[in-house]
Amino acid sequence: MKVTCVVDDAVCDHSPFWGEHGLAFLIETESGSVLFDTGQSGTVLLHNLKLLGIEPAAINALAISHAHYDHTGGLPALLAQVDGIPLYAHPDLFRERFSRREGAIKFVGLSLEREALEQRLTLQLSAEPTEILPGVWTTGEITDRAEPEGRSAHHLVRGSGGMEGWEPDPYRDDMTLVLEAEGGLVVLCGCCHAGLLNTLAHVRRVFGPEIIAVAGGTHLLHADEAHLRRVIEVLRELGVPRLYLNHCTGQRAYVTLAQAFGEKVAPCPAGTRLNFSERRRQS
Ligand SMILES: [Fe+2]
Ligand SMILES: [Fe+2]
């Protein structure tokens, strides 16, 4: 199976791909293709898909990691070009999300109403692990969060009281994809607000112990030294999966992990292609 980073904050020097703060991956297997997240804008998403030779109308399914605009912003442009395909996400996708910076509150969630999505897509909303294509799963909700989450203090939702009606975003909708590859699992992260270590623990509990690669945004940009040390310790216990890090990983976390694991760590800018062997299924 092929995993291609379609949108990321970064692009390589002289790359024809466009970058912006956001994330999208395309997963192509023998059974079909899944677009995981849509970046921040249709302009960048459609430009980069075109460079990859991918017709939006040929995509078989969409999956959304969580509601934030940098993962859902390409949806309006995409809707015009797809028809009736399923969209997999957590039911909390439609909860309004906000950001507060220097006292100013800004909407940062999904910009489309549920009805607009339902006109063009078949919504498959579930908090349970769900198989999108053979060997391509959503994690479902990451319920057990014993390790630090991937939080940003400015992310808020409307609350019932206190904090002038605002509460920290619980990020219940944050889901990751799991790909069943030969030799183990590939974990494809959106923003990892549920926490990288919580996500990995959930994946091992639900899908099996062997994780061979982790790609995407790991939200370690606010992680302190103790947290990064713990990440290194857990990844060592897992036998050090390959790490293709991008988006909200953070430069300090990237350098720390690269110093710890050397060539097991690589950047994953827009246009990066990763290949994994599909796990053979017994028929
Ligand atoms: Fe996010
Ligand atoms: Fe993000």
82 C-alpha vs ligand 2 centroid, how far in Å?
A: 24
CA of 281 relative to ligand 2 center, distance in Å:
33
Parallel, antiparallel, or unpaired: how do β-strands 32-36 and 61-63 relate?
parallel
Which two tokens mark 241? 């999966």
Separation in Å, CA 160 to CA 108, 112, 148, 164, 165: 19, 24, 25, 9, 6
Q: How far is ligand 2, taken at its centre, from the CA of residue 67, in Å? A: 9
Quote the pLDDT of residue 137: 98
User: In angstroms, what is the span from residue 68 Cα to ligand 2's centroid?
Assistant: 7
129-133, 205-209, 278-282: segment of lowest average pLDDT:
278-282
pLDDT tens readout for residues 54-67 = 999 999 999 999 99
- In angstroms, the CA 211 to CA 238 distance is 7
How would residue 163 be classed by pLDDT, with cut points 50, 70 and 90?
Answer: low
| Closest-approaching ligand to the CA atom of 150 | 1
Which pLDDT belongs to residue 148? 95
Give whole-number Cα distances, 65 to 88, 149, 204, 238, in Å: 9, 15, 19, 24
CA of 123 to the centre of ligand 1 (A): 21
- What's the pLDDT tens digit per position in 186-197? 999 999 999 999
**How far is ligand 2, taken at its centre, from the CA of residue 189, in Å?**
10
pLDDT band at 280 (very low <50, low <70, confident <90, very high): confident
Ligand nearest to the CA of 108: 1
Residue 80 alpha carbon to ligand 2 centre in Å: 24
Average pLDDT for residues 137-166, to the nearest whole number?
A: 90
Task: Note the CATH number of domain 2-141+150-275.
Answer: 3.60.15.10
Contact in structure between 149 and 193 (CB atoms under 8 Å): yes
Under the banding of pLDDT at 50, 70 and 90, the label for residue 165 is: confident
Pick the ligand that lies closest to the CA of residue 40: 2
Q: How confident is the model at residue 159 (pLDDT cuts 50, 70, 90)?
A: confident
- The better pLDDT of the pair 163, 102 is held by 102
What's the mean pLDDT in 177-204? 98
Q: What is the pTM of this model?
A: 0.97
